[in-house]
Amino acid sequence: MRYFGLGLATLLATAGITAQAAAQTPEEIAQQALAEAPVWDGHNDVPWQLRTRMHNEIHDFDFNDSTKVSSAEGEGGAMQTDLPRLAKGKVGAQFWSVYVSANLPDAQPVQATIEQIDAIKRLVARYPDQLQMAYSTGDVMAARKAGKIASLIGMEGGYSINGSLGVLRQMYALGARYMTLTHSKTIPWADSATDDPQHDGLSDFGRDVVREMNRIGMIVDLSHVSEATMMDALDVSKAPVMFSHSGARAVSGHARNVPDSVLTRLKQNGGIVMTVGYPVFLSEKLRQWGANKSAEEARLKSLWLGQPHQVEAGMKAWRDAHPQPVASASDWADHIDHVRKIAGIDHIGVGGDYDGIDSGPAGMEDVAGYPVLFAELARRGYSKADLEKIASGNIMRVLKAVEVYSAAHRGDPPIESPTRF
């Protein structure tokens, strides 16, 4: 067969390949998918940064360039989120996390949570051309149609309700659409993944919290909770649950990640794992390096009591001999691969945890990096339709199912619990 003198389109057609298909690089597939279905991120800690760096006084805060907020003004280095980087990252909807410390006593977490909800609403109001508050799937679609980032609220840590279903209902009225049942510490009604268990999962009151969240239409978020708590919540919940920012424990053994026993049940529940971008959760090599580093430091402190200069010198020598592993987009994609293998493509999302971590993976240090992850997935054979589900389709389905369940039970009486004082 002679090809001399034929145009490119004719050559491709002769070979049975269209010009469009030939042009589909992984990056192009990712860009097309994200244009159709922008990222709906499950967890971002900008509200916490506003609180710790600026004490919630945001009149001088420039969300067009948050890199100007220096580390001297708060925790960590430069912030990882602002409007230009959200646009570059193709983020179209964001759950802003209103986190407060589990160490606050009594009702202080309630006040701190309300203040952070207020702060995110004020931030959105300052940028009406780019941001729009959203309280439902309909609101998310309306914001997307208007070309704005839908801004939803998620509470991180069940201590934010101070053991009160009345407070839970009022947090929903203020706009919270998910609640992470615990954070780093076990609370009086639920065990944390990173603290000693007290209840073997959920207490009776904790089960009522899940039931009431179902009734009012708030997603039950199981990031940070123990495996037993995950199982109890899945036993009780009649609506899909979420993991707003977690990985797969089979890929990296961190306690914050989701075990296969839970992933197997997630498909039946209809829930979602919004895979996290925290390198320590992504990379097993990095997790092991951190454990070995801690062990070496403990050994040196035992050997050189009262001689910190010897410990410092020893740790420098250890770090020189053991370079810190670097997590990558490939590591993140490994977690997505595993969730797909066990739970299925319909149960995967992304929840970067940006501005709640030191940095994202290499090349994805901030929210601008999401196209890198989606290009990696396309490189692994994920279709455009798959990528659209992971970007936002799956979490849209989850929230819609929660809304439908709540609407069907709107006439059910609120669950009542006695006040404690």
Catalytically annotated residues:
43, 45, 156, 183, 224, 245, 353
Q: What is the DSSP string of 269-315?
A: HT-EEEE---HHHH-HHHHHHHHHHHHHHHHHHHHTTT-HHHHHHHH
Torsion of CA 289, 291, 295, 301, to 10 degrees: 90
| Paired strand residues for 350 | 41, 275
Q: Is 71 exposed, middle or buried, given 0-12, 13-18 or 19+ CB atoms closer than 10 A?
A: exposed
| Backbone torsions φ then ψ of 193, nearest 5 degrees | -70, -20
CA distance 74 to 93: 26
| Backbone torsions φ then ψ of 348, nearest 5 degrees | -125, 140
CA distance 303 to 247: 37
Structure tokens, 412: 């059910």
CA distance 252 to 276: 12
